[in-house]
Chain A
Amino acid sequence: MSHQFLLALLCEEIPANALPGARRQLEQGFAKGLEEAGFAGCTVRAFSTVRRLVVHVTGLAAGQPDRIEEVTGPPARAAFTPDGSPTAVALGFARGQGVSVDQLRVVKGSRGDVVAVTRRVKGRTAPEILAEVTTEVVGSLHFPKTMRWGAGEHTFVRPLHNIVAVFGAETMDEVVPLDLFGLGSRGSTAGHRVVAPGRIEMRGITGFEDYAARLEAAGVVVDPDARRAKMLARAEMLAAEVGCTVRPDPVLLDELVELVEHPGLVRGKFSSRFLELPEEVLVTTLRHHQKSLVLEKNGRVAGYFLAVADRPDDPEGHIARGYSWVAGARLADAAFFYAQDQRDSLESRVPALAGVMFHRTSGSYLDKTNKVRQLAVELARQAQLEISLEHLERAAWLAKADLVTAMVGEFAELQGVMGGIYALGDNEPEEVWMAVADQYRPAGLEGPIPRTLTGAMLGVADRLDTLAALLASEKPSGSKDPFALRRAALAVVKICAEFPLPLDVLDACHRAVVGRPGGDEAELQAFLQDRVRHYLTNVVGVRADVADAVLTAHWGVIAADVARARALETVRRDEVFGSLAIVFKRVRNILTKGTHGVLDERVLAVPAERELLAAVAAAEIRVAESLDEDDHEAALHALAPLATPLDRFFTEVMVLCDDSILKDARLALLARIERLFLRLADVSRLATEAR
């Protein structure tokens, strides 16, 4: 019969960021531990609230099956005399194993014959195993931060107050004895601290559904998914009551779900005078300080918000009033900063950047401002961007000034956004304020890129300067990347690829390093190339060998690199590219073996040579034509007719022959082919599959 097990730990409030990981570890830990103990085919599910960690296991047997075990002992010749009668050694072994001497057998061991006995080992009961697995899994849970409490003997995420551990078939009535952090297990727990603080009995409990129902009656929704659904439904209802909709914020909702036992929400409101604040300021204030969902009407922020409450109701209206009062205070604070900031122009703040350190090795933000300004203009000139260099320069000059405003001092996440708002207020041209506003876009792989070319150029120059300055001292390793340099490099790649910017990144790296003596140009290029590879495989979705083939050939103008990779990803499935990969590998190998001079076509007389020469000439023309039209697929297809002539050439012609004139001409022909291929991709890097 199938048995089940329920474990529920009641703690003091657990940090929201620890819970998803804890659930994952509990599921994996129990599944692994039980399987290792011989319980195959169990189903493990983990749940949590801000105060509870819950595990439910189904499909358990009542115990481990009995095992047949063979125990080997001393060498046979020590155990038995030549006539087969047992010696004292045999008698001793039999006694030790609890069997009679006639149950001993002789088997082949690795060092000759040994005495052995077959024993039946009784399987242990499921509760015994569950107690062990629980102690092991809970004890080795990894949390972002752990603590000690009271006498300070135990370490866990938060102090533990109650353990329910029950086992059974239809009903889980057997309490599994446990000792975790000095606390024993029981058959009852406590409900929600305010809604139903009394005891909840687990007697007669039939499964997780029953457990969840008993807790829900006591104000606790233990399944995070259920809490999320309830919270979302309540949010929509509260919004509809005032004719609004909820501005979607799944990241915040995920966090709110982890903050409570009961998925409660209240609707607060704030004075309409705050609606005059920039929307970003309103939203950030409500989100940052109050973890509140914002309501909107006709696409604009309305004077309401939804805040989390760990209870189903607001009996006296205190909660909504309290939140509204706090929101008012916070927004008044923000309005105060906003008004204060607007007393001075953004430009007047630039000199104060001299007092803000960019990095201990790399001067102040004023210093950075000057460097970025120069770099941005140089890169724009180099790429022949059709933008006003004057505007670009102006945007770069103002870009970091918001770091010394009160608002960004309070909400660091508004950097850039505030600069844009203040620059607009100072009547800076649209090109300028938008570029300032967008300089930190994209925030990650998903976020939007800058809206204008000026903003894109500023964002790229700023990050290249950061990378050139910091890569030497702050190079990321493993999960450590305190200055988010990987993200900065990825943003450069994403902007160049998606805007797109006709910028040669290799040249740009060179120029960035010139501005930051001590920066290593080759290291910077390699770091960026790594991000291009990441972008190609993760965003564009090409195979790793395709990215490799494209990037080894040449790279730098990222939008073009992406186009080549896309094309190669499409055409690589053609059978002919399998052959091309193999034959091009031969080309590259042989070219490492000899030098080659100018191609003198007159010495190439063998038919296979003449055929290849003609094919190359034709392919060159078609590749060039296709590239002129930015048709990388056609260009790659133009290489296909070379497969057969190349194959024939290698079969019929001895490249490294004794006649040095002939040898040079043949190598030169192959070099010409290599050059042609490498305009597109090093197809020798393609993984060739057995077909």
Chain B
Amino acid sequence: MLDSAPIGVSCAGEVSSVDLQDLILSLSRFWSEYGCVIQQPCDLEIGAGTMHPETFLRVLGPEPYNVAFVQPSRRPADARFGENPFRLGKLLQMQVILKPSPHEVQELYLKSLTALGIEPSFHDVRFEEDNWESPTLGAWGVGWQVLLDGMEITQFTYFQQAGGLDLQPIAAELTYGLERIAMFLQRKDSIYDLTWGGGIAYGKVRHQDEVELSRFAFHVADVEMLRRHFEDWERESVRCLEQEEPLVVPGLEAALKMSHLFNLMDARGAVAVTERVALIGRVRKLAVRCAKAFVAQRERLGFPLLARRGGEA
């Protein structure tokens, strides 16, 4: 384990260098100490941490669960060939799920900022209404965007529904925009000028990959292939869910692949306005089936994490 990582921002607020990786390590440590499982990213191309089975499935059903992980999030249509200083086709989110949402969740969040060297007593931290909805996942929540001195640094959501199911208990989701926070702390005007760690700039680590991802997403990706695979994975997802004992995670992963294929087709301009809603609906239908299958599966297993919490109480 690391010793308490040195944080580059003193309380007096003089900004010095907080590497992107310091940020990740500090947040991971903070939430680890709180009692979260520190998970690894979902090893598929997905658009947001919310789609990670560790979020989408874990928020379902009665079992408590606290988890945190970094999720590289793919947004092909937002890619800008590495030319735009603020936009990326692949960005990093730190995702925290606290289920049930603790009574003092806002205070906890503010403490996590302190752990990053952002001392709320020297800043303006505001919670402004921003509700979240994912038509692809049949999910929505209520919450805020957190503004630090006018900069949006976190999406804070109380999940109300996922996979079309009403949730109980309610999970709080904190999604830290890591590049945003790093830019703010380092006062850099371009993502590519951020220091990642080890003395290396973000641009040196990722610029070429952004350029290539953009070219692929906008010019190269084979639309026919994407469309074909969309259908293939749809069938595969259905097959997983139709097994005598439904394969929940493989079924969901197939649906997540469809979601990314859709995003690529969209970036390629290959989704007609008229078919957009229908394509999203096909992914949602599977997400909803996965959600139901997951809850049924956990119920068959006797909601194991519920017992654990009970044992502790």
Is the Cβ of B160 less than 8 Å from the Cβ of A147?
Answer: yes
Task: Kindly provide the distance from the CB of B302 to the nearest chain A CB, expressed in whole angstroms.
Answer: 20
Residues of A within 8 A of B124 (CB): 264, 266, 309-311, 314, 318-319, 322
- Give residues 122-154 of B contacting A (CB, 8 Å): 122-129, 131, 141-142, 144, 148-151
Q: How far is the CA of A146 from the CA of B129 in the complex (A)?
A: 12
Task: Kindly provide the distance from the CB of A54 to the nearest chain B CB, expressed in whole angstroms.
Answer: 19
Task: Kindly provide the distance from the CB of B17 to the nearest chain A CB, expressed in whole angstroms.
Answer: 16
Q: How far is the CA of A231 from the CA of B4 in the complex (A)?
A: 42
Q: How far is the CA of A323 from the CA of B184 in the complex (A)?
A: 10
Is the Cβ of B122 less than 8 Å from the Cβ of A318?
Answer: yes
The contact of B150 among A147, A152, A290, A316, by CB within 8 Å, is: A290
Asked if B243 is at the interface (CB within 8 A of a chain A CB), the reply is no
Q: How far is the CA of A337 from the CA of B151 in the complex (A)?
A: 20
Is the Cβ of B121 less than 8 Å from the Cβ of A150?
Answer: no
Asked if A326 is at the interface (CB within 8 A of a chain B CB), the reply is yes
Is the Cβ of B160 less than 8 Å from the Cβ of A336?
Answer: no
Residues of A within 8 A of B112 (CB): none
B166-191 near A? 1/0 per residue, CB < 8 Å: 01111010000000000010010100
Is the Cβ of A319 less than 8 Å from the Cβ of B170?
Answer: no
Asked if B2 is at the interface (CB within 8 A of a chain A CB), the reply is no
Q: How far is the CA of A17 from the CA of B168 in the complex (A)?
A: 27
Q: Assuming A148-B168, A149-B170, A150-B100, is B160 touching A329 (CB within 8 A)? A: no
**Which 6 residue pairs are nearest across A and B when measured between Cβ atoms?**
A322-B149, A15-B129, A323-B150, A152-B168, A13-B127, A147-B142
Among the interface residues A149, A266, A314, A316, which one has the most CB atoms of the partner chain B within 10 A? Answer: A149
Residues of A within 8 A of B142 (CB): 145-147
Residues of B within 8 A of A333 (CB): 84, 86
Q: How far is the CA of A504 from the CA of B43 in the complex (A)?
A: 65
Interface size on B, residues (CB 8 A): 42
Asked if A332 is at the interface (CB within 8 A of a chain B CB), the reply is yes
Task: Kindly provide the distance from the CB of A227 to the nearest chain B CB, expressed in whole angstroms.
Answer: 14
Among the interface residues B84, B106, B121, B126, which one has the most CB atoms of the partner chain A within 10 A? Answer: B126
Asked if B313 is at the interface (CB within 8 A of a chain A CB), the reply is no
Asked if A159 is at the interface (CB within 8 A of a chain B CB), the reply is yes
Q: Assuming A152-B168, A322-B151, A333-B86, is B106 touching A12 (CB within 8 A)? A: yes
Residues of A within 8 A of B170 (CB): 147-152
The contact of A357 among B13, B101, B127, B274, by CB within 8 Å, is: B274
Chain B residues within CB distance 8 Å of chain A: 12-13, 84-86, 100-103, 106, 110, 120-129, 131, 141-142, 144, 148-151, 158, 160, 167-170, 172, 184, 187, 189, 269, 273-274
Q: How far is the CA of A12 from the CA of B120 in the complex (A)?
A: 17
Is the Cβ of B158 less than 8 Å from the Cβ of A13?
Answer: no
The contact of B158 among A147, A310, A328, A329, by CB within 8 Å, is: A147
Residues of B within 8 A of A322 (CB): 123-124, 148-151, 184
Among the interface residues B13, B150, B172, B184, which one has the most CB atoms of the partner chain A within 10 A? Answer: B150
Residues of B within 8 A of A149 (CB): 101, 158, 170, 172
Residues of A within 8 A of B189 (CB): 328-329, 332
Q: How far is the CA of A266 from the CA of B150 in the complex (A)?
A: 10
Residues of B within 8 A of A356 (CB): 273
Asked if A325 is at the interface (CB within 8 A of a chain B CB), the reply is yes
Q: How far is the CA of A145 from the CA of B131 in the complex (A)?
A: 9
Residues of B within 8 A of A326 (CB): 149-151
Q: How far is the CA of A307 from the CA of B124 in the complex (A)?
A: 11
Query: Contacts A149-B158, A326-B150, A329-B86 given; 7 further ones with Cβ under 8 A?
Result: A13-B144, A15-B129, A147-B158, A266-B124, A307-B150, A332-B85, A357-B273
Task: Kindly provide the distance from the CB of A553 to the nearest chain B CB, expressed in whole angstroms.
Answer: 46
Residues of B within 8 A of A146 (CB): 142
Asked if A260 is at the interface (CB within 8 A of a chain B CB), the reply is yes
Is the Cβ of B149 less than 8 Å from the Cβ of A323?
Answer: yes
The contact of A150 among B106, B126, B128, B169, by CB within 8 Å, is: B169
Asked if A287 is at the interface (CB within 8 A of a chain B CB), the reply is no
Residues of B within 8 A of A311 (CB): 124
Task: Kindly provide the distance from the CB of A48 to the nearest chain B CB, expressed in whole angstroms.
Answer: 14
Q: What are 18 A-to-B residue pairs whose CB atoms are below 8 Å?
A: A13-B127, A147-B142, A148-B160, A148-B167, A149-B172, A150-B170, A152-B100, A193-B120, A310-B126, A311-B124, A316-B122, A318-B123, A319-B124, A322-B123, A322-B148, A323-B149, A332-B85, A332-B189
Task: Kindly provide the distance from the CB of B91 to the nearest chain A CB, expressed in whole angstroms.
Answer: 15
Q: How far is the CA of A325 from the CA of B186 in the complex (A)?
A: 11
Interface size on A, residues (CB 8 A): 48
Asked if A251 is at the interface (CB within 8 A of a chain B CB), the reply is no
Asked if A321 is at the interface (CB within 8 A of a chain B CB), the reply is yes
Asked if A605 is at the interface (CB within 8 A of a chain B CB), the reply is no
Q: How far is the CA of A145 from the CA of B13 in the complex (A)?
A: 37
Is the Cβ of A13 less than 8 Å from the Cβ of B149?
Answer: no
Residues of B within 8 A of A16 (CB): 128-129
Q: How far is the CA of A246 from the CA of B6 in the complex (A)?
A: 43
Task: Kindly provide the distance from the CB of A154 to the nearest chain B CB, expressed in whole angstroms.
Answer: 10
Of chain B, the residue at the smallest CB distance from A264 is: B124
Of chain A, the residue at the smallest CB distance from B125 is: A194
Total A-B pairs, Cβ < 8 A = 113
Q: How far is the CA of A174 from the CA of B127 in the complex (A)?
A: 34
Is the Cβ of B127 less than 8 Å from the Cβ of A325?
Answer: no
Q: Assuming A13-B126, A307-B150, is B100 touching A151 (CB within 8 A)? A: yes
Is the Cβ of A12 less than 8 Å from the Cβ of B127?
Answer: yes
Task: Kindly provide the distance from the CB of A662 to the nearest chain B CB, expressed in whole angstroms.
Answer: 69
Is the Cβ of A325 less than 8 Å from the Cβ of B122?
Answer: no
The contact of B13 among A15, A316, A327, by CB within 8 Å, is: A316
Is the Cβ of A360 less than 8 Å from the Cβ of B274?
Answer: yes
Is the Cβ of A319 less than 8 Å from the Cβ of B150?
Answer: yes
Is the Cβ of B167 less than 8 Å from the Cβ of A152?
Answer: yes
Residues of B within 8 A of A329 (CB): 85-86, 189
Task: Kindly provide the distance from the CB of B272 to the nearest chain A CB, expressed in whole angstroms.
Answer: 8
Is the Cβ of A260 less than 8 Å from the Cβ of B158?
Answer: no
The contact of B123 among A150, A159, A319, by CB within 8 Å, is: A319
Residues of A within 8 A of B123 (CB): 318-319, 322
Asked if A299 is at the interface (CB within 8 A of a chain B CB), the reply is no
Is the Cβ of A13 less than 8 Å from the Cβ of B150?
Answer: no
Q: How far is the CA of A282 from the CA of B259 in the complex (A)?
A: 36
Of chain A, the residue at the smallest CB distance from B129 is: A15
Asked if A84 is at the interface (CB within 8 A of a chain B CB), the reply is no
Is the Cβ of A159 less than 8 Å from the Cβ of B150?
Answer: no
Residues of A within 8 A of B129 (CB): 13, 15-17
Asked if A315 is at the interface (CB within 8 A of a chain B CB), the reply is yes
Q: How far is the CA of A161 from the CA of B105 in the complex (A)?
A: 11
Residues of A within 8 A of B100 (CB): 150-152
Q: How far is the CA of A159 from the CA of B169 in the complex (A)?
A: 14
Q: How far is the CA of A152 from the CA of B141 in the complex (A)?
A: 13
Q: How far is the CA of A657 from the CA of B141 in the complex (A)?
A: 78
Is the Cβ of B127 less than 8 Å from the Cβ of A159?
Answer: no
Residues of A within 8 A of B273 (CB): 355-357
Residues of B within 8 A of A264 (CB): 124
Residues of A within 8 A of B120 (CB): 193-194
A506-534 near B? 1/0 per residue, CB < 8 Å: 00000000000000000000000000000
Of chain B, the residue at the smallest CB distance from A307 is: B150
The contact of A316 among B12, B172, B269, by CB within 8 Å, is: B12
Q: How far is the CA of A308 from the CA of B128 in the complex (A)?
A: 12
Is the Cβ of B126 less than 8 Å from the Cβ of A151?
Answer: no
Q: Assuming A316-B13, A329-B86, is B169 touching A152 (CB within 8 A)? A: yes
Residues of A within 8 A of B13 (CB): 316, 318
Residues of A within 8 A of B144 (CB): 13
Task: Kindly provide the distance from the CB of A366 to the nearest chain B CB, expressed in whole angstroms.
Answer: 13
Asked if A259 is at the interface (CB within 8 A of a chain B CB), the reply is yes
Residues of B within 8 A of A360 (CB): 274
Residues of A within 8 A of B12 (CB): 316
Of chain A, the residue at the smallest CB distance from B126 is: A310
Residues of B within 8 A of A355 (CB): 269, 273
The contact of B122 among A152, A159, A315, by CB within 8 Å, is: A315
Q: How far is the CA of A294 from the CA of B106 in the complex (A)?
A: 32
Residues of B within 8 A of A318 (CB): 13, 122-124, 149
Q: How far is the CA of A17 from the CA of B247 in the complex (A)?
A: 44
